[in-house]
Amino acid sequence: MLKKNIIDEADKNQLELYIHIPFCAKKCNYCDFLSFPMGEQEHRDYVEKLCREIELTSENIAPEREISTIFIGGGTPSLIDPRLIVRILKTIRQHYHVRDDAEITIECNPASTITDKFAYYKNAGVNRLSIGLQSADNRELKTLGRIHIYEDFLKSYQNARLEGFGNINIDLMNDIPGQTERSWQDTLKHVLMLRPEHVSIYNLIVEDGTPFGEMYEDGRLVLPEEDTASGIDGITKTLTEKYGYQRYEVSNYAKPGFECRHNYGYWSNVNYLGFGIGAASYFGNSRYSNIRDFRKYLELDFDEDMKRGWAELHTDVQVLSKNDQMEEFMFLGLRRIEGISETEFKVRFQVDIMSVFGRQLEQYVNQELLVHDGYRFRFSPHGMDVSNVILSDFLLD
C-alpha cells in the first residue's frame, strides 16, 4: 500500500516553485516544448531577468509561504553554466523560506559534459536529479533526434552516484518508431538493474509543427502497432513489480518513499508559482501563465514600472469556478494510484460527490474500470490503462 501523505495535503502554507530554463543544444524530432538553442550571453541575460522575477514575486505574492519543492525544468537546465543554477537557487533562498527538507530537482540531459556540473548542483542544495534517457537503444535515440547515446547516460548516472545523489529519476519513452517488445524489455531491464529511485514512462505524442508531425502527415512515421503497445505495457508491469517499484501515478513508478513530491503536489491541489517564459502558476483559485516570447521577456521592465511589467508578464489569467475546481479534483486526483476521497470532496466543495459525478462513478465501477472501497475511488489496473478516455467523461458543462 502506498505510504499515505507523500505530501501533507492539508498544509496550506506550502508552496512549490517551478523554474523554466528554455535552452536546448538542439531540438529533438518530437519536441514541441518551449525550448530552443541560444548562446551563453542569452543564457546569462535570461537568468538575470528570471532572478528579478523571483525577487519581485516574493514581495507581491505570499511572502509567508514555505517552499516545499523546487523543480528546475526545461528545456535542458543542465546545458547552462552551473553557476547560473547556483545563482537561481541562491536568489530563491534569499527571498523565500525554503524548508530544510525541501525536494529540489533539476532535469539533466545525459550528455558527456554534464558530469562536471553535479558538484555545483549538490553544493547548491539540489537533492534529486531527473535524467532524460528515453531509451537504452541507440538506434531509437537517433530516431528521436536525441544528442546522447546510452553510454553517455551510463557515465552520467555513475558519476551522479559518485557525487552522492541518492534520489534519481530516469525518463523513458514508449511508442517510439521502431520500438519493439524486445527493445523495450532491454531498455527497461538495463535501467531497472541500475536501481534508480524513480522511473517516469511517457508515451510519445506526435505533435503538429515538429519533424515527427510532418513525417506523420506524409505517412513516413511508422508507430508501433496496438499489439506491440499492449505487449510493452505488460512488460512494464512485470518488470517494475519484479524490481520493487510501485506505480503511484499513471506514468510514474517509484521505490517506496521516493515518489516525486513536486508532481504529487500538482496532482493534489498544492499551489505553485512558475518562473521564466511559458511557466504556469496556480495560486489561490487562479491560474495564469507567463508570456512565451523570449525577447519580450528580456525586455520586460519591472523596475521602471513594476505594475506594467507585472501585467505584461502574466497572460491567460483564469479564476477557477467551482465546477472547474471539481473537475480538476477528479482529473488530477484520479491519476494517482490512491485515487480520490469522498470525504475530501465533501469537505472541500460542501456537496456530495455522487450528486455531481454519480453517473460516471457508478458506470465505471460497474464496468470494473474504477474500484470503490467505501471511502475512495481509484482506477483498476485496466482502468489505469484507458484513463485518458475515462477522465474526459468528468468534464462538467
Residues that bind ligand SF4 (CB under 6 A): 24, 27-28, 31, 33, 35, 74-76, 109, 132
286-298 in b/e burial notation, b at 16+ Cβ within 10 A?
ebbbbbeebeebe
Least distance to ligand SF4, CB of residue 33, Å: 4
Least distance to ligand SF4, CB of residue 26, Å: 7
Question: What CA dihedral angle connects 372, 197, 275 and 123, to 10 degrees?
Answer: 150
Residue 358 C-alpha from the chain's centroid: 31
Least distance to ligand SF4, CB of residue 78, Å: 10
Q: Which is nearer to ligand SF4, 22 or 224 (CB)?
A: 22
- Are 328 and 354 within 8 A, CB to CB? no
Least distance to ligand SF4, CB of residue 75, Å: 5
Residue 14 C-alpha from the chain's centroid: 18
Least distance to ligand SF4, CB of residue 271, Å: 25
Among candidate residues 209, 199, 23, the one with its CA nearest the CA of residue 109: 23
Q: How many residues does the chain have?
A: 397
Least distance to ligand SF4, CB of residue 360, Å: 34
Q: Which is nearer to ligand SF4, 33 or 302 (CB)?
A: 33
- Are 330 and 396 within 8 A, CB to CB? no
Among candidate residues 163, 245, 164, the one with its CA nearest the CA of residue 199: 245
DSSP string, 146-164: -S--HHHHHHHHHHHHHTT
Least distance to ligand SF4, CB of residue 147, Å: 8
Distance CA 55, CA 44 (A): 17
Among candidate residues 22, 33, 32, the one with its CA nearest the CA of residue 84: 22
Q: Which is nearer to ligand SF4, 129 or 330 (CB)?
A: 129
Residue 56 C-alpha from the chain's centroid: 25
Q: Which is nearer to ligand SF4, 6 or 79 (CB)?
A: 79
Task: Output DSSP code: residue 175.
Answer: S
Least distance to ligand SF4, CB of residue 177, Å: 15
H or E element at residue 286: strand 286-290
